[in-house]
């Protein structure tokens, strides 16, 4: 599409670095990102929905039908209806669409302890908070909030610790992901239905996520060790999600 223009982005950030002791330090970052004039393509389903359901006639020239008149729908009297041949293709052009806004806070803390002959212990804590993740499909259209929907959870965190002594290195990670919704959104109207009809139509799915249509938060634990005491050889073992939490 020769009419596509470059995307633009505006970023704002404020970072604070602190280290009250030689063994303890941290960072606190506030950020806001706005991506405008985003370059993307609509899915074939979205184009068909816009044309047939919402009546956006400008998409008529990117929907292609078969040319065999025998495949047309017919009236009750058996007369073929022009323009009812099966759809055989949809042209998905790149376009300049709307805007994405992201705002949040990242916190990272680090502590180091030296036990002398017993080795060193390093511990880190990381947490991210998303306060806004809104998406505008079309310029001038409504924004839809996604900060707690699908893979955009509001909070994610990790505590990791690492102990090293001589040829040995042992680590453990505790990971946290907050709960999130499974809504259905309409980027044209801005409407957000908290529970997608796809889920409410499935008894098994509804039983799994509950009547409020939210996936619960979860915590997982990873651990592992590395040994380097053999020349030119490094032996490592890692266990992810040790307790099988999903």
pLDDT in tens, 120-130: 999 999 999 99
| pLDDT score of 181 | 84
**Helix residue spans in the chain (DSSP H):** 44-48, 197-200, 203-209
Residue 117: both structure tokens together: 């002959």
Please tell me the distance from the alpha carbon of residue 66 to that of residue 202, in angstroms, as a whole number: 35
Q: What is the pLDDT of residues 40-73, one digit of tens each?
A: 888 888 888 888 887 888 888 899 999 888 888 8
How many separate helices (H) and strands (E) can be counted in the chain?
Answer: 3, 17
- Let me know: does 72 contact 66? Beta carbons within 8 Å: no
- Three-class secondary structure of residue 49 per DSSP: helix
Identify the residue whose tokens are 């040995």. 168
Tell me the pLDDT band of 95, cut-offs 50, 70 and 90.
Answer: confident
Measured torsion, CA atoms of residues 185, 191, 194, 198, in degrees rounded to the nearest 10: -50
Residue 123: both structure tokens together: 């511990």
Please tell me the distance from the alpha carbon of residue 51 to that of residue 47, in angstroms, as a whole number: 6
| pLDDT score of 54 | 79
Tell me the pLDDT band of 207, cut-offs 50, 70 and 90.
Answer: low
- Let me know: does 171 contact 161? Beta carbons within 8 Å: yes
């Amino acid at each position: 599409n020769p009419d596509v223009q470059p995307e633009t982005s505006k970023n704002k950030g404020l970072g604070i670095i602190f280290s009250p002791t030689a063994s303890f330090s941290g960072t606190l970052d506030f950020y806001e990102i706005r991506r405008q004039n985003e370059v993307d393509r609509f899915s074939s389903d979205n184009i068909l929905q816009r044309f047939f359901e919402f009546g956006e006639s400008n998409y008529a020239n990117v929907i292609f039908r078969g040319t065999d008149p025998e495949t047309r729908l017919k009236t009750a009297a058996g007369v073929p209806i022009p323009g009812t041949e099966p759809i055989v293709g949809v042209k998905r052009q790149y376009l300049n669409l709307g805007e994405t806004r992201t705002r949040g806070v990242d916190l990272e803390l680090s502590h180091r302890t030296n036990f002398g002959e017993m080795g060193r212990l390093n511990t880190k804590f990381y947490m991210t908070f998303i306060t806004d993740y809104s998406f505008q499909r079309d310029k001038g259209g409504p924004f839809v909030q996604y900060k707690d929907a699908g893979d955009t959870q509001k909070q994610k965190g990790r505590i990791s610790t690492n102990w090293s002594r001589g040829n040995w290195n042992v680590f453990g990670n505790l990971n946290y992901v907050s709960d999130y919704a499974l809504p259905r959104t309409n980027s044209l109207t801005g409407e957000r239905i908290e529970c997608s009809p796809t889920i409410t139509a499935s008894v098994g799915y509804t039983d799994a996520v509950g009547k409020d249509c939210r996936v619960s938060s979860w915590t997982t634990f990873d651990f592992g060790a590395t040994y380097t005491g053999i020349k030119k050889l490094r032996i490592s073992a890692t266990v992810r999600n040790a307790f099988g939490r999903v």
